[in-house]
Amino acid sequence: MLRLTGDVEKTARMSGVPGRTLRRWAAAAAKPRQRSRGAKFEPYGDEVRGKAMEMARGGASCREIAEALGIGSPDVVRCWLKGGGTKEARMGGRARTPEGDEPAYAGFGGGLEERIRRLELENDIPRGAVDLLKAGSLGSMGNMEKTALIDKLRLESDRPLRELTDSLRISKGSYEYCRAKLRAKDRHAQLRIDIRRIFDGAGGTRGYRYVHNELREGGVVVSEKVVRRLMAEEGCKVAYLKRKRRYNSYKGEISDAPPNLVGRNFHADAPNKLWLTDITEFKLPSEEKAYLSPVIDCFDGLVVSRRIGRRPNAALANGSLEDACRTLAPGQRPVCHSNGGCHCRWPG
* pLDDT tens string 76-113: 888 777 765 544 444 444 444 444 455 544 555 566 77
pLDDT confidence bin for 225, thresholds 50/70/90: very high
Q: Angle CA(155)–CA(161)–CA(167) in degrees, nearest 5?
A: 105
275 domain-assigned: yes
Claim: this prediction has a pTM higher than 0.75? no
- For residue 39, the model assigns a pLDDT of 45
Question: Which residue type does 145 have?
Answer: E
- Has residue 300 got a pLDDT over 80? yes
Question: Are 70 and 52 in the same domain?
Answer: yes
Question: Are 206 and 266 in the same domain?
Answer: no
- Has residue 184 got a pLDDT over 80? no
In 3D space, the residue among 297, 291, 323, 336 whose CA is nearest the CA of residue 309 turns out to be 291
20 domain-assigned: no
CATH number of the domain that residue 311 is part of: 3.30.420
Query: Looking at 165, 183, 201, which one is the last position of a domain?
Result: 183
pLDDT confidence bin for 265, thresholds 50/70/90: confident
146 domain-assigned: yes
Instruction: Give the integer Cα–Cα distance in Å for 291 and 280.
Output: 6
Query: Looking at 167, 183, 199, which one is the last position of a domain?
Result: 183
* Beta-carbon-side half-sphere exposure of residue 242 (alpha carbons within 13 Å): 2
Number of structural domains, the chain?
4
- The residue segments making up the domain with residue 272 are 244-348
Question: Are 259 and 322 in the same domain?
Answer: yes
pLDDT confidence bin for 319, thresholds 50/70/90: confident
Question: Are 178 and 202 in the same domain?
Answer: no
* pLDDT tens string 321-340: 888 888 888 888 888 888 77
Question: Are 286 and 228 in the same domain?
Answer: no
Residue 307 CA: distances (Å) to CA of 299, 311, 315, 335: 21, 11, 10, 19
